[in-house]
Amino acid sequence: MDNNYDLTILGGGTGGYVAAIRASQFGLKVAIIEKGKLGGTCLHRGCIPSKSLLRSAEVYSHAKTMDSFGVSASDVTLDFSKVQERKEMIVNQLYQGVQYLMKKGQITVYNGTGKIVSPNAGASKSVILEVQKQNGEIVELISKNLIIATGSSPRDLPGLVTDEEFIINSDHALQLEQLPSSIAIIGGGVIGIEWASMLADFGVEVSVIETMDRILPQEDQEISKEVQRILKKKGIKVLTSAKVQDISKQDGEVEVSLDVKGKSKSLSSEKVLLSVGRKANIENIGLETTRIDVQKGVIQTNEFCQTSKPNVYAIGDVIGGLQLAHVASHEGLLAVEHITNNNPVPIDYSSIPKCVYSQPQVASVGLTEEEAVINGYSIKTGKFPFKAIGKALVYGEADGFAKVVIDNETNKLLGVHMVGPSVTDLISEAGLAKFLNATHLDLAHSIHPHPSLSEIFGEVALISDNIPIHM
């Protein structure tokens, strides 16, 4: 009976452990199966370690421009080993915190790999899972409910596989012991742009290769254009509409042959970083024993993250959509509240903020201008620059702007898009406004402290009606 659970979670990443905590709060007997460390990709190979490195890169970049603030410092140097030590310290501190939360919630953690061996056991039609622990021992669990939260892993390009030395992915890059002199990043999406910004700030010669006609293609076109302008100003070479034809290694370098808008080009660098998206981890977890619907490499679920088998749920990257840690967490909460019959409200994905932690930062929520038009809205837009915001000038970070997309008929916010200083924190106000179905006038009439970067919300709302105060 010790191996019988009300809920078992396959995967102890952000979505999985958050779901476990909520389930324990409802009094369920909970188990987590995790093959690596609790916290998963976000804590150990993604969100937290990469943002630690980005912060170090930002500080180093600022240190080299202190003269503009009237502060003189000579011989500013970078010790990359200490950068990595700081990253590991932060990750370990948070990891210890997650372990404490598991003990607090009396959640049983199985360190090993798990798979479904029988989707319908007994009268209750419980799920039977087989766990192969790290010591080789095999344990069988019986669970009334299952949440699949196995996450995702970096995707390779067809015919191009990482070798962890010359051709690497983001997992490998986090473990670099020393910085390369140059790097070519294949993929100009969120992860690629964050690494490009970080490495350039560390002094690495960076090239970005993107197959689409612009970097950050999921963002508003004006945002993408501004980010590309600022990155080029930082010395980053950006090649769009570029397709990789071949990669060869010679004399300690990697040569990438490209087709750029119909013209052949090549570039050489010490390393190549593959950043072409992520694939759901759905292999070897026993899905073939079930009738769970899988399409285009992701598990299909309803609005409560419930699969075609009623007592099996799936959350996070394995169901596609927005592959973000905060999305996985809320999907986990939603699934648990549905399991426990607590009448949850389905997630409004249009109100979820998205962030790019590069320098400049990028953040958005809701529809882009292009998406609003495609969806048939009659819209108006407003755009206000940070250079007209006093706090941005005080901080010495005045590049970028905020943009709003507004429904002409209702004045409700359809989307808010930002590029510039601290926008990954500022976007939460826009996310709340969107969640509450606010109008642009609600933003305009909210009183923001002066001086603050948040003043840009009032200004951008007013400029959409052509009545800005400071422009």
Give tens-digit pLDDT for 385-401.
999 999 999 999 999 99
Catalytic residues: 450
Entry pTM:
0.94
Question: How far apart are the C-alpha atoms of 263 and 45, rounded to whole Å?
Answer: 36
Question: How far apart are the C-alpha atoms of 383 and 378, rounded to whole Å?
Answer: 17
User: What would the mean pLDDT of 84-95 be, rounded to a whole number?
Assistant: 97
At 76, list the tokens. Answer: 């500013």
- Structural domains of the chain in order of their starting residue, each with its CATH number: 4-153+279-347 (3.50.50.60), 167-276 (3.50.50.60), 350-463 (3.30.390.30)
For the beta carbon of residue 443, count every other beta carbon within 10 angstroms: 23
Note the pLDDT of residue 373.
Answer: 97
Place of tokens 């899972």: 129
For the beta carbon of residue 116, count every other beta carbon within 10 angstroms: 23
Upper half-sphere CA count for residue 465 (Cβ side, 13 Å): 14
User: What would the mean pLDDT of 459-466 be, rounded to a whole number?
Assistant: 94
Tens-digit pLDDT profile for residues 403-448: 999 999 999 999 999 999 999 999 999 999 999 999 999 999 999 9
DSSP assignment of 334-350: HHHHHHTT--PPPP-GG
Note the pLDDT of residue 261.
Answer: 92
Question: How far apart are the C-alpha atoms of 333 and 346, rounded to whole Å?
Answer: 11
Beta strands in 169-252 (DSSP E): 182-186, 205-209, 237-239, 242-250
Model confidence band, residue 156 (pLDDT cutoffs 50, 70, 90): confident
Q: Which residue has the higher pLDDT, 4 or 75?
A: 4
Question: Does residue 157 carry a pLDDT above 90?
Answer: no
Note the pLDDT of residue 160.
Answer: 81
Is the distance from CB of 358 to CB of 397 less than 8 angstroms? Answer: no
N-term to C-term CA, the chain: 70
User: What would the mean pLDDT of 76-90 be, rounded to a whole number?
Assistant: 96
Note the pLDDT of residue 445.
Answer: 94
Question: How far apart are the C-alpha atoms of 83 and 412, rounded to whole Å?
Answer: 44
Percent of the chain with pLDDT over 70: 99
Of 171, 196, 170, nearest in space to 183 by CA: 196
Tens-digit pLDDT profile for residues 235-283: 999 999 999 999 998 888 999 999 999 999 999 999 999 999 999 999 9
Tens-digit pLDDT profile for residues 184-197: 999 999 999 999 99
Question: Does residue 121 carry a pLDDT above 90?
Answer: no
**Residues 6 or more apart in contact with residue 63 via CB below 8 angstroms:** 73, 76
